């Protein structure tokens, strides 16, 4: 019994550590309707209360991101989404006015990434996508791509030195994700809106193997695709801390925030 | 002249040409007839709930019916189950959000055919009917009865004898056990609330019997509506089977804010509650030693997609259960059809409910779909 206090102390310390684990949420949107229904100060409060210390934010339209930058400059890492409304997800690649919009925003504001954008297969070959990739190159921006593996390959074929964050890990299998990460040294994977990598605190075996093979490439994300999902950020953070706690501390910290910080060049 | 429609669901269905005197025609294709057959037969076979030993017990059903109408089950004696589940209004209340002691967040669901459900409530926070039935009694925003007061209610003149005959003396039982018992009595009664055959069922029966003349009585507008329902509308992807519901949870593109800074998390919250729920099929209050059906809760896998999803409602008697959707935000069936026909894809995840796409139905197509939906409602004799 004399060891009990020590055991309790260690257990408590471990729990506190898990609860305090900073999170870089690499998949946040703050779109036109969210701005109205979750005002910037409230959105910033949600992020802070969830212990989200950094967030890669892109919005349809970009005004949302700029408003959130103003409300939480210490948290928000701005990305430029090429949509003026979310409804452009399936049509933007055929709309040349998108480029005018993107160029206009790039001229006015600072960004770390272009995206999240939706493009599949040969969408990448369209003039709009090709121009956007050229703009990413010109401005040294990460590309946050909601794409299939084919489109990711085409991005790297277009620009071999691209840095790409693969949204949702392409909703692909852990085996395919590993294959893609092996092929491309500047490809990172976010785990947003997928639940197959961890059930409760239990990490899936195949995903664990992926995390262990590529400890510096994965990151978490909530994906606030509708305004209401801002109220899921805290639950998602809790879920993430839950399964990350089952990993070795260095790996957990990498996925929690360090990988995203390094990917975006935020570390001095 | 005979038209043979082929082998459908293991049954050779042959039809005679429409006979004179029938104003309508059978216009469905073989595959559409096959789809129609999948929505029956109705009624489903009778089945008792093994987790509730009061299920099918005549004395329990009678007592359950009395309890359903008793205002003694509410804290201030002003509410009963029938306050929201009005027997004269399809066992719902006709208002957008239920009004207990305070206004709730959700629409009151009708109580028909619940014994065939897998999950209960819009968020499925219960995996059995008796657990769902006891919930409104103690919720502070609904009937708000304290469990400590339940024994006194049950020892009152109205309930003491029949209750004691079924369970023993209330004061001898724990508060929780009395609450569970009341839930089981209510469930025994609610299990009896089933719907009768509808015009669609008679149409389907005629199709199954190969009686084209009888089938052709079903209005052409409703047939055209079914063609949309099972065709380009893909409504039968979720509204499956004889219940016209797969019993699971989906995002129908309906906003789920309930206040400026509060959302209804739907199935996400339902699963959270279910995991802490002592009244499950796997729990100690189930009367089934085999714990039949407990696997469904044990095997639940949580998903980010659960957030803001709600249980697919049965469409039986849908003509009597307005307003619609989890929050009663859509007033009429015509408006529901308009909602889906013009679904706002901005509300849905690009990799979420891929089945939902704007249909842009014409005015006539919308009217046809409504005609079909109304044919799922009992016709008063």
All structural domains of chain A with their residue ranges:
21-263
For residue B316, the model assigns a pLDDT of 98
Hey, how many other C-beta atoms are within 10 angstroms of the C-beta on B301? 10
Q: Which residue has the higher pLDDT, B349 or B61?
A: B61
Q: What is the pLDDT of residue B26?
A: 93
Q: Which of A5-9, A172-176, B36-40, B268-272 has the lowest mean pLDDT?
A: A5-9
Q: How far apart are CA B278 and CA A129, in angstroms?
A: 54
Q: Is A232 on the interface with B (CB under 8 A)?
A: yes
Tell me the ipTM for this assembly: 0.89
Contact: A199, B302; criterion CB under 8 Å: yes
- From the list A155, A152, A229, the residue with the least C-alpha distance to A192 is A229
Q: How far is B356 from chain A (nearest CA, A)?
A: 14
User: Nearest by CB to A195, which of B257, B303, B308?
Assistant: B303
* pLDDT at site A19: 65
Q: Tell me which of A6 and A125 has the higher pLDDT.
A: A125
Min Cα separation B302/chain A (Å): 7
pLDDT attached to residue A18: 55
Q: What is the mean pLDDT of chain A?
A: 93
Cβ burial of A126 (10 Å; 0-12, 13-18, 19+) is: middle
Taken in order A108, A113, A119, A124, is the CA torsion positive or negative?
Answer: positive
Q: Which residues in chain B are closer than 8 Å to A86, comparing Cβ atoms?
A: 345-346
Nearest-angstrom CA–CA distance, B118 and B295: 11
In terms of CATH architecture, what is A21-263? Alpha-Beta Barrel (3.20)
What number is the average pLDDT over the span B255-284? 96
Domains and CATH numbers, chain B: 1-37+197-264+311-381 (1.10.760.10), 47-194+267-307 (1.10.760.10)
Reference B180, options B54, B57, B275, B297; nearest CA is B54
- Name beta bridge partners: B263: B257
Segment B93-123, tens digit of pLDDT: 999 999 888 889 999 999 999 999 999 999 9
pTM of the model: 0.91
Q: Is residue A150 within 8 Å of residue A123, measured between CB atoms?
A: no
What average pLDDT score do residues B314-330 get? 97
Mutate to test the interface with A, among B249, B251, B261 (most CBs of A within 10 A): B261
Q: For the residues A211-239, what does the mean pLDDT come to? A: 97
Cβ neighbours of B268 in A, within 8 Å: 232, 235
Contact A228 B256 (CB under 8 A): yes
- How far is the alpha carbon of B96 from chain A, nearest alpha carbon, in Å? 20
Specify the range with the lowest mean pLDDT, choosing from A102-111, B11-20, B50-59: B11-20
Question: Which of A92, A123, A147, A226 is the best residue to mutate to test the B interface, defined by the most B CB atoms within 10 Å of its own CB?
Answer: A226
């Amino acid at each position: 019994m004399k060891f009990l206090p020590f055991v309790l102390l260690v257990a408590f310390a471990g729990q506190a550590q898990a609860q305090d684990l900073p999170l870089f949420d690499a998949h946040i949107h703050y779109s036109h309707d969210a701005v109205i229904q979750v005002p910037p100060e409230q959105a910033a409060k949600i992020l802070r209360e969830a212990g989200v210390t950094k967030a890669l934010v892109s919005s349809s339209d970009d005004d949302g991101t700029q408003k959130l930058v103003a409300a939480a400059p210490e948290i928000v890492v701005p990305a430029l989404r090429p949509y003026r409304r979310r409804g452009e997800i399936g049509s933007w690649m055929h709309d040349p006015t998108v480029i005018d919009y993107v160029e206009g925003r790039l001229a006015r504001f600072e960004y770390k990434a272009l995206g999240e954008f939706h493009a599949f297969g040969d969408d990448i070959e369209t003039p709009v996508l090709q121009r956007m990739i050229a703009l990413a190159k010109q401005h040294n921006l990460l590309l946050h791509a909601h794409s299939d593996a084919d489109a990711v390959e085409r991005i790297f074929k277009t620009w071999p030195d691209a840095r790409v964050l693969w949204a949702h890990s392409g909703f692909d299998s852990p085996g395919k994700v590993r294959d893609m990460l092996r092929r491309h040294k500047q490809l990172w994977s976010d785990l947003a809106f997928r639940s197959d990598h961890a059930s409760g605190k239990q990490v899936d075996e195949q995903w664990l193997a992926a995390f262990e093979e590529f400890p510096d490439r994965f990151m978490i994300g909530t994906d606030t695709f509708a305004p209401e999902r801002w109220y899921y950020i805290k639950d998602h953070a809790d879920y993430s801390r839950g399964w990350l706690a089952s990993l070795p501390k260095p790996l957990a910290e990498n996925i929690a925030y360090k990988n995203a910080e390094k990917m975006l060049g935020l570390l001095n | 002249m005979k038209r043979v429609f082929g082998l459908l669901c293991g049954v050779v269905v042959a039809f005679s040409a429409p006979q004179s005197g029938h104003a309508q025609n059978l216009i469905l294709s073989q595959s559409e007839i096959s789809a129609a057959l999948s929505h029956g037969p109705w009624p489903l076979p009778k089945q008792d709930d093994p987790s509730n030993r009061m299920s099918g017990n005549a004395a329990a059903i009678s007592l359950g019916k009395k309890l359903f109408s008793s205002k003694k089950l509410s804290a201030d004696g002003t509410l009963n189950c029938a306050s929201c589940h009005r027997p004269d209004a399809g066992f719902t209340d006709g208002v957008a959000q239920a009004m207990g002691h305070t206004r709730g967040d959700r629409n009151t669901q009708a109580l028909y055919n619940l014994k065939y459900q897998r999950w209960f409530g819009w968020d499925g926070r219960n995996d059995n009917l008796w657990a769902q039935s006891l919930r409104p009694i103690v919720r502070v925003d609904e009937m708000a009865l304290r469990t400590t007061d339940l024994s006194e209610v049950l020892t009152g003149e109205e309930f003491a004898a029949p209750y004691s005959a079924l369970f023993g003396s209330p004061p001898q039982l724990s508060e929780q056990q009395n609450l569970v018992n009341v839930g089981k009595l209510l469930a025994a009664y609610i299990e009896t609330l089933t719907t009768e055959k509808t015009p669609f069922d008679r149409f389907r029966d005629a199709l199954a019997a190969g009686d084209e003349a009888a089938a052709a009585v079903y209005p052409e507008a409703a047939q055209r509506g079914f063609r949309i329902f099972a065709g380009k509308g893909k409504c039968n992807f979720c509204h499956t089977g004889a219940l016209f519901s797969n019993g699971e949870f989906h995002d129908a593109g309906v906003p789920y804010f309930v206040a400026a800074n509060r959302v209804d998390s739907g199935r996400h919250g339902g699963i959270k509650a279910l995991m802490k729920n002592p009244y499950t099929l796997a729990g100690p209050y189930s009367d089934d030693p085999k714990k039949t059906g407990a696997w469904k809760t044990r095997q639940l896998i949580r998903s980010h997609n659960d957030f803001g999803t709600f249980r697919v409602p049965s469409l039986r008697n849908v003509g009597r259960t307005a307003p619609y959707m989890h929050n009663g935000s859509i007033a009429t069936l015509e408006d529901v059809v308009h909602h889906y026909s013009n679904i706002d894809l901005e509300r849905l995840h690009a990799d979420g409910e891929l089945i939902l796409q704007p249909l842009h139905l014409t005015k006539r197509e919308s009217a046809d779909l409504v005609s079909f939906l109304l044919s799922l409602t009992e016709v008063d004799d």
